[in-house]
Each structure stands twice: as C-alpha cells, then as structure tokens.
Structure 1
C-alpha cells in the first residue's frame, strides 16, 4: 500500500524476497509455531480437564462461555484493524508504528469503557445476568491487547515464532496458576477472568522486551487516515468472522439456558482442538507469507493450495477420531456428568474442519486486498446463520444448533469462499486437489470406526485398536499426496534441459479496495 507524501511514503518500492529465503523463514517459523501451539493447547487441555472434573459445573462453564464470547468479538476489532499494517505494509514499519499504537490503544480504551457501562444489559440479553461482573474483568484484556498489538505485529512480520513461544509459555504458566488458585478458592467463572488478565499482562511485557523500541505513541494525521482506510474494512470483516463463530453461544444461552450452554461450550471447545492446534500454527505465518507472494498470482496460488493441503491433511484425522469417539472420549476425559455434550460433538467437528479452510482463505484474501469480498462473505454468513441457529436450537437443542452451523457453513459459505478465491486467481481445481486425498482418507477412517466399533464395542482397548487401524488406513490414503505437500510435486516441476521462462513482474498493487 502506498501512503501519501506526508507519511514519509508508508510503502517503499517493492522488492520481493528470494523465494528460497522466504520459504526457509516460513518453514522455520511454521515449525516453531506448531510446537508452540501444540504445547499450549495440551496445557490448556489439561487445565480444562482439572477445572471441569473438580471445580466447575456446566452452569459456571456457561457463564464463562458468555464472557469469552463477548471478549473474542471485541478483540476482533478493538484496534480497528490497523495493527495488520505492521505485517502487511512494505517499508520500515517503525515510521508509522507510533500512529498505529495510538489508534489501537485509544480505540481499545473506548471500547472497554462502553462495555463496562453496558455489561449488565449485555449479560441479560444473552440470558446470563450473573455474567456481568465476569465480563467487566475479563474484557480488561481488550485494553491490554490493544497495546500489545504493535510489538506483537513486529514479531509476526519477522517470523519470530521462537520468541513468541517463550512469551506464550509465560502467559500460560501465570494465567493457569491464577485460574486454578482462584477456582480452588471457589471463585467460579471469575477465576477464568482474572487468569486471562494476568496472562495478557505477561504477553504485553514479553512482546515489549522481544521487540524493543516499538511501544512509542505518536500521531500523524495523514498516516492515521491511510491506516483507517486500510484497517476498518478488515476490522469489520474480522468482527463479523468472530460473530459467526460465537453467535451460537449467544443463541444457545438465550434460548436454552446456562446449563445447556455449558454442555455446548464444552463440545465446541473440543471441536476447536484441531482448529487451535493446526490452524493457529499456520495462521501465525500464513498471512505474512501470503503477503510476500501477493504480487505473483501463480506463486500465491501454489502457496495457498499447498498450505491448505498441509492443514487439511493434519486436521482430518483429528476431526474424524473426535467425531467417531465423541461419547467415550467425553466420559473418559471429563466425566459422566458432561455426557450430554457428546451428541453435538460430531456436527461441531465437521464445522471445525470447515473453519480451518475458511480461516486460511480469509488470510489469503486479506493478503491480496480483497477486503470488500471478505466483508460481504462474513456478513452473508452471519445473516444466514442467526435465523437457522434459532430454529435449530428450538427444534433440537444443542444438537440442532450444531447442525444449523454445518448446514449454513457447508451449503452457503464454502461456495462463496471458493468464488472469492477464484476471483483472486486461486482456482477450484487447485483447492480440490489439495483436499481430495485427505477427504478420501477421512471417509475410510469413518468407515473403519463405524464398522469396528459395532463389532468390538467401546471398551478402551477396543477403541485404541480401532483408532490405530483407522489412522493406518488414513496414512495409506494420503501417501500419494506427499510430494505435493512437500512442494516437490512432479506435475509442477520444469522438465530437465528446459528453463521455464520467468513470469513477467507485475507492478505493486495499491491497496485501494
């Protein structure tokens, strides 16, 4: 993006990094990000088991779900989308980072002030009046996050995922310690709130130390106009995206009450394990990688299809196993009082798989400047989802709400995302090729699980044997795609003895959409 002269030219002349160097940086960052995400999620998983088994029941979990939903929606747009300029814009980001920090901190403080005043009304509308105090405490994270976005953006821009892993580890240790201590003392859902605040403070301090000199306030009106023009459409699309994922919590809480909401939130959290482990690891490097490839349509299409193939290949077996063993898994891990959550889990696992693909597509469309398309996609998704969720919840409880999610996502949103990607130069054929072998493997896994579970029952040894057999079948199915996933697919190699002519350079595209 090119700023006005008054900004000191926010973007310098574009010089694309050498693909091998970029590939190495992305690869190293992706490995660090994956390790970080897996370790953190395993820690959160263990913490959730302890809290659900020994301290918190479905009603407290429902109150926490309401507060977490509101927090996530606010975090999607608390900095007005301007922090992404640190990652996306070319040139030296330190020139416009002070203006980004001022905008981000100011908007976050105003948003929190409004939430503090409206917390009782918001909690009442969502069917959980007792959540207002938890909302006021937990949403302090909005202010902290608004300040941390700038140093965090510098870490993302430089693919510094090793440093990020250390910061996230410290966040986890402190937030978990505070949460468990307060839960043991009987604080209920409020223990989550203070744990989240403590963890976010650690993240802010860690990001400041890892990216020194980036927390400087400043103001340049021309930069501010350019940043808001860039960020507001992204903030709107991001808020809609988070609303899409979290409006179900609001509907279930208002329609079915806190206890049913507690079961639903647990099932939804379980369905998010693959999303958090695979998708979060990929997204921490994907946006920066797609941004570097945005001016080469062929390279972008290849990079996106390969990234999609990798995340889908890693996600499908997790989704199928959790869907196939929903009942035994929940009773074994969380205890029998959480058994009602199992009925919704298979449908939510299907939604989780769709979310992974849509989130990667979201990052790609942002990188190539398709902000209006994103806004329209997310708006359409939310508008279609709300009435279907209401009908599903009233007709069939938490299972109906889960089915409504899958119906809208698979029947409406996936085709729209495919169309938007095709407009950006990424054809349906590439996407189908990336997903074909994993989907075949998933179908084989499902057939194996259904067949063997009926034959051998649901005892632990039988379940382990069934899971191992299903994974073996999946591995055989995805073996033909290993070259494609490594980026050495024969079909895309140049023939020996002939040089492939380089693609003509395209001029840098201004971000005007």
Structure 2
C-alpha cells in the first residue's frame, strides 16, 4: 500500500475513532447539562458563561499555536524541548495574570460575581501550556483512541465532582473546581499515553521558527474563541444575566452536534492535509454533508428539543437556538478550511479573517442586541458568517492553491440533498402537537431521508478520502 493510501487509511480510522468517541462524550455532556439545568438558574448559567469565556480565550494563548507546529513539523523531537519551555512559560504567565486580575475582568465584562470562578479556572492555563508537546504528538500520530481515553477520564472526573459540589450548594464555584480537577487528570494522561516525559530546553533558532508559525495560529484561535463568545460579553452588559442564561443554553445545545463534528474535522484536517497530496474536495464535501443537515434540523426542531429536554421554563432559548444551529453548520465548514490553510503554512489569512469577523460581529451585536435581545444576537452570527467569513475563506483558499469554483461544486450536492429532508422535519414540527413525538418523528424521518438521498454519494466520498488521488479543487502545476 502506498504512503498516500496508508495516510488515508490512518486518517479515516482517526476520524472514526474521533467521531465515535466525541459523540459518546457529547451524549454524556448532554445528560449532565440537563441535570445541571434542573439544579442551576438561568442567571447562574450566565455567570459561569462569562468565566468560561475568559478561560476559553486565554487557553488558546497558553497554547501559542505550539501544538499545531508539533503536528506539522518534519522533526518534532528536535523542536520538542523548546516548544515545551515556551508552552510552560506562556501558560504560567497567563495563569498568574488571570488570577491577579480576575475580579477586574469579571467587573469589566458586566458580571462581577464571576470573579471567583475566573480565579479558580486560571489554573487550567498553566496545565494547558505545560502539556502542548504530548497533545501535539498524540494528534500527529492519529492516536484518537488514546485521546478518547483522556477525554473520557476528563469527563468522568468533571461530572462526578461538579454534580457533587453543585448539589452541595456551591453553584458556579462547583463548576469551576470540577473543570480544574478534570484538566489536571487530562494533562497527566497526555504525558502518560504519549509516552513522553517533560523535556525542557531552548534553541533560539527553533524558537523563532516555532513562534513565527505559532503566534498567528494562536491569534487566529483566540480570535475564533472571541468571535464565538463576544456575544456573551455584549449580552451580559445589555440584557442581563438571566437572558444570557437562556442564550448560553441555546448555544450549548447548538454545540452538541457541531462540537462533535468540529472535533472530528480538527483531529484529522491538519495532519491529513499536511502529508496528503489531495483530498480537500472530498473532505470538504463530507464535512458539509454532515454539518448542514445537523444545523438545519436544530433550527426547525428547536422548540420541541428545548421543551423535551429542559422543560417549558427554558423555551425562551428556542428562537435563538434556531439561528445558532445554522451558524454552527457554517462554523464546522470553516474548521476544514482553516485546517487546509494551516497545512499549507498559511495561518496568517485565518488570523486576519478572524480579526475582521470579530470587528464586524462586535459592531453588529452592539447595534442589534439592545433592540432584539438574544434572538437578534444569534442571527448576527449567521449574517457575519455568510456575508464575511465564507467569502473571505474562499479568497484565502484560492491563494493557497484551491479553486473556489471547485470548492463550491463540492458543497452543492449536500446542500441540495438537505432541502427535502429538512422540509420533512419542519412539516412534522408544525403539525405534531406533542413535543416529544415531534422531536422523534421529525428527527428520524429527516435522518432516513438524508441517508436515502446521499448514501451512495457518501460511500464514494469516503473511498476517495481513504485513497486520495489528485484533487480537482487544487491547482496541479
């Protein structure tokens, strides 16, 4: 078997492991989220969202894009000591800074009660920075089984501790403590399962090259997180913690399928595109064939889904969920685009596109959130994604060697095939009065329809991914 074919098989196996494990863990997270929704108030959801927003944005800086360079490097062992030193220094500095300024950050974001949770979560920044090397090596080797075991341990520790502390009345602090404990376990397991020990050193030439690649990646990732979470900041200051709680629930629900799909895409895109000569069109079309119907179904079944899982008191989250489902589908597609650009050594366009998107979304949110609340904020995400991010990526892909027309053709069939299936679900949601029946019948009928319409096409694209040849989306010169 050729090296290219072997890479395709490894990527396909990695995707299978990543997809199955992520779906399993996501299902567990859904169940835990339902339990927490019965224990916490919408206001507490909103407060914790602010704390997680700070932690999520800073976590990308703690990585500094270093794990991505380990993944793509031709000689990861040579750069590993320098990468480890840079990661530890960045994580430690950010942890100390966040701890010292946690109260001020919370007040600045309009939720001073989030200060203690931000202080506790600062410890995760140090752990993330210290473990960039083993994480990068696991990703590079397509060790999705080991990554699943790490994620499972993280989930178990976080769930058990969080539920116990929340039930004991600790509220938001219980969530933060559970997150820190889980991160500690995950970081230790990364070292153990990657079979590496902490090795530190510093080579000035290696550091320069690593930072030249990693800093734009880290900036793009940070801006991506900010793009997703800037609405939390604006809503906290304009509509208050209660409305933010409904919005956070909607965003979390939209993240169920989309985070699972994004995890699969990120786990294979960079290592696959870094070493494979083609496959971009096949990967992109497969990603869209999964992301588009998932997002559309969230949109049309939002009301029944929220009422069945969380109860009628959370129904104000449903209109925002409808828009966020559509946005989530686009975001998964953008992950595939970014992976291709990173593999071509072009992190800069991703970063600049995120900057432009963040600026546009912030302006849009400041204008529409006071007028339309959480629903307007959700649709602002869709507008910026469709009108700015998508065209911007097509331009960047063209500069990296892909042909936009071929990319659009790869997306066409999944788009057309989703229309009748989503229409079936929308009809069921509109005509079946019982929310549980509407959810089950609508979801199952749409799923069966989708498999019937695109089943043969999906098998062909998977074969193309496993044995990639020349890719029509790329310029072959």
Same fold (TM over 0.5): yes
What does 1:282-361 correspond to in 2, within 5 Å?
A: 282-293=265-276, 296=277, 299=278, 303-361=279-337
The answer to which of 211-220 and 263-272 deviates more is 211-220
| Higher radius of gyration, 1 or 2 | 1
Specify which of 446, 452, 465 is matched with residue 428 of structure 2: 452
Are the counterparts in 2 of residues 315 and 353 from structure 1 also a CA contact under 8 Å? Answer: yes
1:224 lines up with 2:200 in the alignment: no
Assess, with a 3 A threshold, how the Cα gap between structure 1 residues 459 and 261 changes in structure 2: closer, same or farther: closer
Establish whether residue 46 from structure 1 lines up as the match of residue 39 from structure 2.
no
Note closer, same or farther for the CA distance 1:462–1:47 as it changes in structure 2 (3 Å cut): closer
Q: Quote the offset at 1:475 in angstroms.
A: 2.6
Task: Give unpaired runs (5+ residues) of structure 1.
Answer: 1-16, 495-502, 507-513
Indicate yes or no: 2:114 matched with 1:125: no
Tell me if 1:256 matches 2:256: no
| CA distance 1:163–1:72, change in 2 (3 Å) | same
For 1:281 and 1:486, the matched residues in 2 are separated by 14
2:7 corresponds to which residue?
Answer: 22
Tell me which of 240, 248, 251 is aligned to 1:268: 251
1:181 correspondence with 2:164 = yes
How has the CA–CA distance of structure 1 residues 49 and 224 changed in structure 2, closer, same or farther, with 3 Å as cutoff?
Answer: same
Q: Structure 2: how far apart are the matches of 1:443 and 1:126?
A: 40
The equivalent position to 1:78 in structure 2, one of 47, 57, 62, is 62
Distance in 1 between residues matched to 2:469 and 2:99, nearest whole Å: 58
Question: 1:134–1:193: 8 Å Cα contact kept in structure 2?
Answer: yes
Q: Which has the higher contact order (CA 8 A, sep 6+)?
A: 2
Tell me the alpha carbon deviations over residues 344-368 of structure 1, each in whole angstroms, 9 at most, x when there is no partner: 0110011101100111111111110
* TM-score relative to the length of structure 2: 0.94
Give the alignment partner of residue 35 of structure 1, picking from 20, 23, 35. 20
Distance, in Å, in 2 between the alignment partners of 1:214 and 1:475 is: 46
Checking the alignment, whether the CA contact within 8 Å between 1:437 and 1:481 is kept in structure 2 is no
Q: TM-score, normalised by structure 1?
A: 0.88
Of residues 105-114 and 213-222 in structure 1, the stretch that sits farther from structure 2 once superposed is: 213-222
Residues 487 and 135 (structure 1), Cα distance of their counterparts in 2 relative to 1, 3 Å cut:
same
Q: 1:329 to 1:21 in 2, by over 3 A?
A: same
Partner of residue 66 from structure 1, selected from 21, 46, 50:
50
CA RMSD of aligned residues (A): 2.1
Structure 2 unaligned spans of 5+: none
User: Residue 64 of structure 2 aligns to a residue in which SS?
Assistant: coil
Q: Verify: 1:390 aligned to 2:366, yes or no.
A: yes
